[in-house]
Structure 1
Amino acid sequence: MTEIRTVTTLRSKREEIVSSIKLYEDRIKQARADLAHVNACIKIFEASGDPEDMPRYVDVYRLFKRGEQIALCKEALASGPKSTRELALHVMGAKGLDVGDKVLAKALAAQLIHALRMQASRGKIERVGKKGTALMWRLPSG
């Protein structure tokens, strides 16, 4: 039996509407992703710099001014050699960060290693060995 032209036209229209709905759903999904990115950017630019206001996953580079970490490390090294871990805890304490936060301490220590090695290559800090697995540092003598 042959189909009525009206039914054929309605089926065709139904397929057109279904594909339009899919297209609009994809556009809505993309718009939601774009909105999430814009909101994240707003949070970044509105950050006050206060450690209490920052989420745990924020990059530690944003917490310090240029050269501030090394200045704090040199301040700590004035009292004698220290390990990278001890320096990280000193820097955290000086900035008012939670010294009990092991994740932050480890991230900060990893960042400090690079900065301290750069200072050592310039002769401003000396590497004096290891204490367990942590590197030891001191101010240059004389």
Structure 2
Amino acid sequence: MKPVVHGLVKKRAEIVGRIQAAQEEAARLIADLDHLDASIRLFEPDVDFDDMPVKYLPPPNAAFRGEVQRFLLEQLRGATRWQTTDQLTVKVMVQRRMNESDKALRTLTRKRVGHSLSRLRKKGVVRSRKAGKGPLLSWKITAPDADIVQGWRNGASS
């Protein structure tokens, strides 16, 4: 088998495994829902489940506005050395109980951390410098007493 085909077959097997796991989880959730429905009907036989509210889950790894910036400021305030974007990314992932070995999630988190740090740099709260020959930056706080106050949208409170 050619290396390209072998890689595609391996990726296909991974996706099939993920689909099977998702189907098994869906089957468990449906069984749990059926048990809850039966329990509710014991107390309210004429209940209409179509009128019941649905609680939507937040997107995975969602954060409130400014939450990441506040965490980064705390980390930079306590640091005695320059911190790289990667180091800060790992700290964010540990604090938020994210899987650090998930490359895609780590890349997404690094982008979010980088954007947050760039916004802080524009506000004059942190500064950056090159960390080695590549594109990696290191960061240091310039205004330790800075407090970024932001609300839900565009910095507006509530």
TM-score (norm 2): 0.49
Question: Matches of 2:73 and 2:117 in 1, distance apart?
Answer: 10
Question: Tell me, what secondary structure is at the counterpart of 2:129?
Answer: strand
Question: Matches of 2:122 and 2:74 in 1, distance apart?
Answer: 19
Question: Matches of 1:137 and 1:87 in 2, distance apart?
Answer: 9
- Selected match of 2:136 from 99, 120, 134: 134
- Greater share of residues in helix: 1
Q: Which aligned segments of 4 or more residues in structure 1 are displaced greater than 4 angstroms?
A: none
The answer as to whether partners of 1:130 and 1:136 remain within 8 angstroms in 2 is yes
Question: Matches of 2:118 and 2:138 in 1, distance apart?
Answer: 11
- Correspondences of 1:1-142 after superposition (within 5 Å): 46-47=56-57, 49=58, 58=60, 60=61, 63-77=62-76, 78-79=78-79, 80-131=81-132, 132-140=134-142
Question: Matches of 1:127 and 1:97 in 2, distance apart?
Answer: 26
Question: Tell me, what secondary structure is at the counterpart of 1:99?
Answer: coil
TM-score (norm 1): 0.54
5+ residue gaps, structure 1: 1-42
Q: Which has the larger radius of gyration?
A: 1
5+ residue gaps, structure 2: 1-53, 145-158
The answer as to whether partners of 1:85 and 1:105 remain within 8 angstroms in 2 is no
Pick which of 93-102 and 71-80 moved more. Answer: 71-80
